[in-house]
Amino acid sequence: MYKIVKKQELTTNIYLMEVEAKRVAKTCEPGQFVIVRMDSEGERIPLTICDYNREKGTITIVFQTVGAGTKMMAQLEEGEYFHDFVGPLGRPSELVEQPLEEVKSKKILFVAGGVGAAPVYPQVKWLHEHGIAADVIVGSKTKDLLILEKEMESVAGNLYVTTDDGSYGRSGMVTQTIKDLVEEGKKYDLCIAIGPMIMMKFVCLLTKELEIPTVVSLNPIMVDGTGMCGACRVTVGGKVKFACVDGPEFDGHEVNFDEAMRRQQIYKTAEGRAMLALEEGETHHGGCGNCQ
């Protein structure tokens, strides 16, 4: 059992939890993820590691309530426990693995969409701790959904916030800000984009044009997260890869995003049904139109 030592509602439907998981905290690196199960009946949910404290033996996760599983998870309180918490899984971010001198010589731009700000944060923080100031674009649908702005500000070189509806910071999609920055004369050697699949796709289309090498962190459906099932398979550079062991980070210009987005839909009806059943409880009698 893994104790929740801190819980915070960052904004509507986005939660941060700091969880005691000594083994994970001892060995994890930025870019890796964990799989959690809230109780003995729960499904396995993959979440990127957003922060870690090796001394305290804790891991910070951030999640948005998008389905039945995360909705139930959001009801867990400080002092309660996750039944299972396994990791670190996947490969660490390439930045961490490369020689520091090489990383230092690069101008790096991070692009975070929505809850993707959470997994971007530990990487920017890691760079900051190693004396590297990376630029960061954080995109959010609206002001109320923006998370980790202060934290990001304290570790980023330049921070650019943009909202789709213009309610805060710049206005428009993250791609607009990338274009603007490049037009203003900024040069980047590497872009790291994390967020919804559709956002990563459009960032990649743009950076390919701008000839900026781009790394994305994919979030396909997963079950075990250790390479034994292939639920998370994606096509990268024409080859089939398992995101849980070969990734989750890949060369964004090589990823087949259309296929990856299609594959995210596999259980959509089943998930919707489970969500309705959860919301309507005993009163759930086929409102989803899919019950027999």
Binding site for FAD, by residue number, is 62-64, 69-70
Per-residue HEC secondary structure of 228-261 comes to: CCCCCEEEECCEEEEHHHHCCEEEHHHECHHHHH
Q: Which stretch binds other proteins (CB under 8 A): 54-62, 120-128, 194-202, 263-271?
A: 263-271
Nearest in space to 15 (alpha carbons), one of 164, 140, 112, 148: 148
Residue 180 found at the interface with other proteins (CB under 8 A)? no
Nearer to other proteins, 104 or 268 (CB): 268
The H or E element containing residue 86 is strand 84-89
Cβ at position 274, least distance to other proteins in Å: 6
Rg (the chain; Cα; Å): 19
The structure tokens listed for 120 are: 């971007």
Residue 245 found at the interface with other proteins (CB under 8 A)? yes
Extract the annotated binding site: 62-64, 69-70, 229, 232, 244
Q: Beta-carbon neighbour count of residue 231 at 10 Å?
A: 17
Q: Which of 134, 175, 217, 233 binds other proteins (CB under 8 A)?
A: 233
**How many secondary structure helices (H) and strands (E) does the chain include?**
11, 17
Residue 53 found at the interface with other proteins (CB under 8 A)? no
Q: Which stretch binds other proteins (CB under 8 A): 41-49, 97-105, 123-131, 146-154?
A: 41-49
Residue 86 found at the interface with other proteins (CB under 8 A)? yes
**Do residues 221 and 194 touch, judged by C-beta distance below 8 A?**
no
Residue 235 found at the interface with other proteins (CB under 8 A)? yes
Nearer to other proteins, 167 or 226 (CB): 226
| Total chain residues near other proteins (CB under 8 A) | 41
Question: Distance (Å, rounded) from C-alpha 204 to C-alpha 168?
Answer: 25
Nearest in space to 134 (alpha carbons), one of 152, 158, 111: 158
Cβ at position 242, least distance to other proteins in Å: 9
Q: What are phi and psi of 154, to 5 degrees?
A: -75, -15
Q: Which of 8, 229, 279, 280 binds other proteins (CB under 8 A)?
A: 229
Q: Beta-carbon neighbour count of residue 254 at 10 Å?
A: 15
Residue 3 found at the interface with other proteins (CB under 8 A)? no
The H or E element containing residue 153 is helix 149-155
Cβ at position 289, least distance to other proteins in Å: 15
Cβ at position 174, least distance to other proteins in Å: 26
**Do residues 124 and 156 touch, judged by C-beta distance below 8 A?**
yes
Residue 27 found at the interface with other proteins (CB under 8 A)? yes
**At 215, which amino acid appears?**
V
Residue 224 found at the interface with other proteins (CB under 8 A)? yes
Residue 89 found at the interface with other proteins (CB under 8 A)? yes
Binding site for other proteins (CB under 8 A): 23-24, 26-27, 37, 41-44, 68-69, 72, 83-89, 223-224, 226-231, 233-235, 240, 245, 259, 262-263, 265-267, 270-271, 274
